[in-house]
Each structure stands twice: as structure tokens, then as C-alpha cells.
Amino acid sequence: MGKRGPAPTPTNLRLLRGETRPSRVNRSEPQPPAAARAEPPDYLDADARAVWARLAPSLIARGLLSSWDVDLFAVYCTATVHHRRAVALVNGTNVLIKNRDQDGLVKNPALQVVRDQAAIMATIGGRFGLTPADRSSINTGEGETGGAAAGILD
């Protein structure tokens, strides 16, 4: 059974947020090899690779995406693409559709996909500082909290 409470924040993120003094950094925290690059996995389709190409460079530059984070960030990119596709499907039809078995209308099943993918995006995106609340809490040392990190989505 695991420990109770929220998962501990990695030291490098605590430093970015200004929560820990450098003299108190846990030097034993594992770090990915410096030579390892965060490259998109082969299984990503072209749309997910476009999301990766848009966001990954700024995350890598700020130290928020490393070679160890590739698979989790790939899930974020895929969820973003699935969310877009489900929204397009709902926009092309209706929120309520005819029920095949009975007379009447039912909620479009694509709405569940929209909701599920949005939840995945919010959860994983928060770990990379891609939500406004998480972005505002990151301090990269360039002025006020959220200073340089506010440009992550540029």
C-alpha cells in the first residue's frame, strides 16, 4: 500500500516554483541522462506529432520535458488529437441524436469522448505546466511567479 496524500513534487519543479532553496535540493533525485533527447515516439500519428512539435520545444527548453517523460507527454498529445476529433464529430452532428432502439433522443456518445479526453489533457497537462493554474505556480527565476513559464504555449 502506498503513502497517503498527494504525490511528492520532483525537486526540479519545486525549484522552478521557488519552493525550495538550492542549498536544500535533494541531490540524490534521479535525473535522465543529459545526452538522452526527448523525441516523439514512433507510434504517434501525424496529428499527434504536430501537437508534439508545437509544445515540446518550449517544454524541453524550460526543463519540464525530458527523455523519461516521453510516453506520458505522448499520451497528452494523443488525447489532444482525440479531443479535437470528437469535438469535430459533435459539431458535425448534434448534441442529441436519435435513439436507434426507441423513439426519442439520446446524448451523442462522442460527448463522453470529449469529456474523457479533456480530463486526460487537464491531468497530464498540469504536470507539464500546460494549465493556467499550474503555469502560474512555476517560477523560472525570470521575475514574478509564472514569468517565463507563461510563454509555454507560445
pLDDT tens, position by position, 12-59: 666 666 665 555 555 566 676 666 788 999 999 999 999 999 999 999
Residue 62 within any structural domain of the chain = yes
Q: Which domain, by its residues, includes 69?
A: 38-151
Greater pLDDT, 92 or 29: 92
Residue 114 within any structural domain of the chain = yes
Residue 24 within any structural domain of the chain = no
At 109-151, the pLDDT tens digits run: 899 999 999 999 999 998 888 888 887 776 555 544 444 444 5
Residue 30 within any structural domain of the chain = no
State how many domains the chain has. 1
The three cell numbers of residue 34 are 543529459
Q: How far apart (Å, rounded) are the C-alpha atoms in residues 83 and 16?
A: 30
Residue 46 within any structural domain of the chain = yes
Residue 24 · residue 58 · CB < 8 Å: no
Residue 102 within any structural domain of the chain = yes
Residue 25 within any structural domain of the chain = no
Q: Which long-range contacts (CB under 8 A, 24 or more apart) does 105-113 make?
A: 110/86, 111/86, 113/82, 113/83, 113/86
Residue 114 · residue 92 · CB < 8 Å: no
Residue 36 · residue 65 · CB < 8 Å: no
Residue 83 within any structural domain of the chain = yes
Average pLDDT over residues 49-78: 93
